[in-house]
Structure 1
Amino acid sequence: MPEDGGLYEFVHISEIASTTRDLMSLNLKHRTQLGGRSEGVHSRSDQQVEHIVLQQARDFVGRAREGFMLSVRQSDVPTRGELRYLLERVLLDWSSFSRELGLEEAHTSANELSSAETLRLVRRQLLAFGMAATALGALPRTPSEEVTFPYSYGKPPTYCDIPAPSSPAEMLHRLEEVESMLWKLMSMEWQELVNHYYGPLRRTYGFFEANARLAQQEAERFGVKPVRRTLQWPA
């Protein structure tokens, strides 16, 4: 990755966040209503563009989760129980993660993955985690006029009831919740998600909204103008 590769990756993440937020907003506005009746779970495998957007979002959150694994230190973990929980969660993913970084002794030689490629992978993971963690921390402070979730009970709308993660375990839980909800967005009916997963759905929407908002602010500071791809409901 060239020296400005991190900036390109930053812009890419900002586009993923804003497009995912727009996709969720359109579907919630056009396919759901508060208290609406669900028609049951059904496959949306024919929605190719929707699946591409959501898969890109899953890739971003997956990289953020890997960046978390690289970042957390034992000194950051306050209790033995939390450390045990983190180790159990991390070890579930270690096999695939070590393959990605070329750390498997039996299957990958030290020369198969160049140091430049390893650095590129790690930099992408740490950047994704940095953006995700910053967004989760800033989410409760989102100005009410910038909250676009269609079904906010607060007047004015707010995310102030969604606390920022205060420990490594909470951070990991929030990232896993977003990953889980993205899976549901790819396979379940939108009305059922509103009816039965309102809390995780709202937190996931807010996560991408906060990412998009912060990325736009930083892009302006860097003098970068990301390409804005506005999603529209088909006529």
Structure 2
Amino acid sequence: MSYLTAQSGSDGLADNSMEFVVFFCDKQDISAIKVDVRMNKEQQLVLHHDTLEEGQYYVALEDVFAYIARENSPIRINCDLKETGLEEVVYGLANKYALWPQVELSGTVACSYLLKWSNQILMNIENGMDDSFHGEHIGRWGENVLLEALAKLSRSHARVININHQLFTDAVQEKGKQLALEFSLWTVNDLNAIGNYEKENIYNITTRKAWTYVQLKGVQTG
């Protein structure tokens, strides 16, 4: 059975907003929400995808955790780290609200954490590449580079690989099977593609149409 993750901003809600968190917090058919995490100058974790700007308001990750804990929601929280060195800070904050078992890390996660938290890390495939590939457009990552990255991450004890669904070729899927890896695919917005990936039992599917897909699926099976 695949997990279904609502990408920040799913179904027309504002990216990295409390509105987004509140909407999906009680949706039983949604496995997780994904938020982007950075640290501001006050050493506070906040939700935002791009570089932070002075004078702008950003939702605090602590407010997200506090709300989910207060609602006693089982929703998983995929914290996509946009900067290095945030792993322990997220861990400490999640522990404060007894939510660490519900937290998943993706983004710039150091491979050194794989042995410690392998079941809670969706390891981005680029973390297995040489630094020279970082910042390159994904269209320039050849298939050989992807296969080498899978092998490297497998040796580092990765369990689930987070990868753009456009890069999830037959060769990548086959290499993953050989290495006993599972895949988390982002960002899959075609409703038929989501259904097909579910049939293949892909570990996780992240989408900006999570609620739309759940409603459509309910109509089809109702």
Q: TM-score, normalised by structure 1?
A: 0.25
More helix by share: 1
Q: TM-score, normalised by structure 2?
A: 0.26
Higher relative CO (CA 8 A, sep ≥ 6), structure 1 or 2?
1
More strand by share: 2
